[in-house]
Amino acid sequence: MERPAWAPRSIDISVPSVSRIYDYYLGGSHNFEVDREAARKAMEFMPGLPKIMQANRAFMRRAVRFAADEGIDQFLDVGSGIPTFGNVHEVAQSANSGARVVYVDHDPVAVAHSQAVLAGNDGAGVVAADLRKPREILASAEVERLIDLNRPVALLLVAILHFVEDADDPYEAVAELRDALAPGSLLVLTHASYEGIPLPAERAEGAVDVYKDIRNPLIMRSREEIARFFEGYDMVEPGLVPPPVWRPQEAPEDEDPYAFSGFAGVGRTA
Ligand SMILES: C[S@@+](CC[C@H](N)C(=O)[O-])C[C@H]1O[C@@H](n2cnc3c(N)ncnc32)[C@H](O)[C@@H]1O
C-alpha cells in the first residue's frame, strides 16, 4: 500500500485508528481502506453512526461559540482529532481573532495534519500527548506559550473519554485538568452511551465490538457515569443532554433519531 505524504512514517497503515475511522464517518480524506473497512463493519450494526458524529461536531461548534460569547478566549482541546470542517480554531478565532487554541492528540496523523492546518497561525498550536498523562499536557511548550493558566480556559473533551478505560482512571485525569485551570473555566464534553441510541443495545454492541477488535475499546458509559466527569463543575443550562438538545439553533426534533445518542454538556467552575 502506498503511503501518502500526510501519513507519518511512524504509523502502521495496516492497522485501523479511531481518529481515521472518525475522519471517514465525517467525510474526510485522511483514512485508509483498513479504517473504512472497520467503519463499514460498525455501520452494518449502526447505520446512523455518521449522524452521531455530525451531531457531536455540531454541538462542539455551538459550545465553542457559547464559550467565546462568555468571554473565554483560550481553548484546550484534548483528543482534537484530524481537522476536517468547522474546526475549533476556526470557530473560536472567527468569534475572536485573538483566541488561543491548543490541540492535543496522541494519534500521529491527527498531530501531523493539525500542524499542517495551523501553519502560520500564531494563536494556535498542537501537542502530541495523552489525556491519561495530564501533567505532560499542562507542562508542554505549546500550553506554556499559548495558554495563561491564571485566566479561564475552555477545556474540550469531545468524544475522547469513551476511549479511556476505567483502569486508566479517566476521572482522575479530568480532575487533574480541572484543578489546574482558573475559576470560571469551562468543561465541554461529549461521551458515547447506549442511552438514546435508536436500536436495541444488543445491536449497538456489534458496533462497539468492532472497536474491541481493533484494540481500541469504546467504553459506553451511563448518563450517571458521564455526569461524574463534571464533579467540581456547575452545569450550564440545559445540563447533560443528547447533543441536539444542547442550545440548538434549530428545532432539535428535526434531527435524525441517531443524533440523540450519547450525551453532551458544558460545566463551569466557580
Ligand atoms: C472520535 S475523535 C474526536 C475528535 C474531536 N474531538 C471531535 O469530537 O470531533 C477522538 C480523538 O481522541 C483521540 N484520543 C483517544 N484517546 C486519547 C488519549 N488517551 N489521549 C489523547 N488523545 C486520545 C483519538 O486519537 C482521536 O483523534
Grid cell locating 75: 481553548
For the CA of 17, the nearest atom of ligand 1: 25
Q: Where are the alpha helices (DSSP H) in 14-129?
A: 18-25, 33-45, 49-69, 88-95, 108-118
- Separation of alpha carbons 49 and 62, rounded Å: 20
Domain ranges of the chain: 18-269
Residue 79 alpha carbon to ligand 1 centre in Å: 3
pLDDT in tens, 94-106: 999 999 999 999 9
Is 132 near ligand 1, meaning CB less than 6 Å away?
Answer: yes
Grid cell locating 40: 463499514
pLDDT in tens, 218-235: 999 999 999 999 999 999
- pTM, full prediction: 0.97
* DSSP state string for 140-180: SHHHHHH--TTS--EEEEES-GGGS-GGG-HHHHHHHHHHH
Q: Of 84-93, 97-106, 243-252, which gets the smallest average pLDDT? A: 243-252
Residue 69 has pLDDT above 90, yes or no: yes
Residue 63 has pLDDT above 80, yes or no: yes
Radius of gyration over every alpha carbon of the chain, rounded to an integer in angstroms? 17
pLDDT of residue 68: 98
pLDDT of residue 1: 66
Residue 131 alpha carbon to ligand 1 centre in Å: 9
Mutational pocket test of ligand 1: of 24, 87, 163, the residue with most ligand atoms within 8 Å of the beta carbon: 163
- What is the percentage of the chain residues whose pLDDT exceeds 90? 91
Spell out the CATH class of 18-269.
Answer: alpha beta
